[in-house]
Amino acid sequence: MQDIEPFYNWENFYDSSCDRHSPFYGMSYNLYEYTNDIYGYYIHPLWDYIGSETLYIKILYADYERKIVIIELFGEWNDAINNDIMFLKRNIIDHFTNLGINKYILIGENVLNFHGSDDCYYEEWFDDIEDGWIAAVGFREHVLEEWNKYALDYYIFYGESLQIDNWRTLTPMSFYKLVESYIHKRLPAG
């Protein structure tokens, strides 16, 4: 677990610890001291704590003019016991939504499991971003199957077209435009 690092090749475009609007502004990271863990397994120190015992994130990119944020997630997304969506929504998403962000890309290759509960926070998030959207890229098939059981596709765009394996080879804006193009194909005309 400690060897799974957040993607850092976009740091020349954006660094959440240098962004005055980021909830992680001013954060310093000690790459020699591992303090956070999931179920007793230490995790890489570049993952940011959001209040959850099992779900960590890294804000890879934010553009306040274009109203977008790209977030990579790591760990177990457990709404049933830990109410992880509440931590993500209250501590991260609400912060960015209050700054005008209404387009969110969640990267979930390192989300190892999902345990659902109700959809109240997802519905609230969806309602908060009236003209925006939430997209999930690269989540594992078994996680998406669990999302289907809770009808999260009503709030979050995900699926085959958003399994973008080469996202790391793109710039943040190229990645965003690719995701947006898939979403516009799926949105009803009007």
Q: Are strands 55-63 and 68-78 parallel, antiparallel or unpaired?
A: antiparallel
Q: What local confidence, expressed as pLDDT, does residue 45 receive?
A: 95
Q: Which two tokens stand for residue 99?
A: 């700054």
Taking 50 as the pLDDT cut, the residues of the chain under it are none
Q: What local confidence, expressed as pLDDT, does residue 19 receive?
A: 98
Q: Which long-range contacts (CB under 8 A, 24 or more apart) does 187-190 make?
A: none
Phi, psi of 82 (to 5 degrees): -95, -10
Q: What local confidence, expressed as pLDDT, does residue 160 receive?
A: 86
Q: Does a structural domain hold residue 8?
A: no
Q: Are strands 103-115 and 68-78 parallel, antiparallel or unpaired?
A: parallel
Q: Does a structural domain hold residue 37?
A: no
- Nearest partner of 158 among 95, 111, 120, judged by Cα: 111
Q: Does a structural domain hold residue 167?
A: yes
* pLDDT, tens digit (0-9, with 9 covering 90-100), for 75-115: 999 999 999 999 999 999 999 999 999 999 999 999 999 99
Structural domain count, the chain? 1
Q: Does a structural domain hold residue 124?
A: yes
Q: Does a structural domain hold residue 132?
A: yes
Give the range of the structural domain holding residue 58, as residue numbers without chain letter. 48-183
Q: What local confidence, expressed as pLDDT, does residue 187 receive?
A: 63
Alpha carbons 50 and 56: distance in angstroms, whole number:
6
Helix (H, G, I), strand (E, B) or coil at 129: coil
Q: Does a structural domain hold residue 24?
A: no
Q: What local confidence, expressed as pLDDT, does residue 189 receive?
A: 54
Q: Does a structural domain hold residue 9?
A: no
Q: What is the pTM of this model?
A: 0.95
Residue 55: which CATH number?
A: 3.30.750.24
Q: Does a structural domain hold residue 89?
A: yes
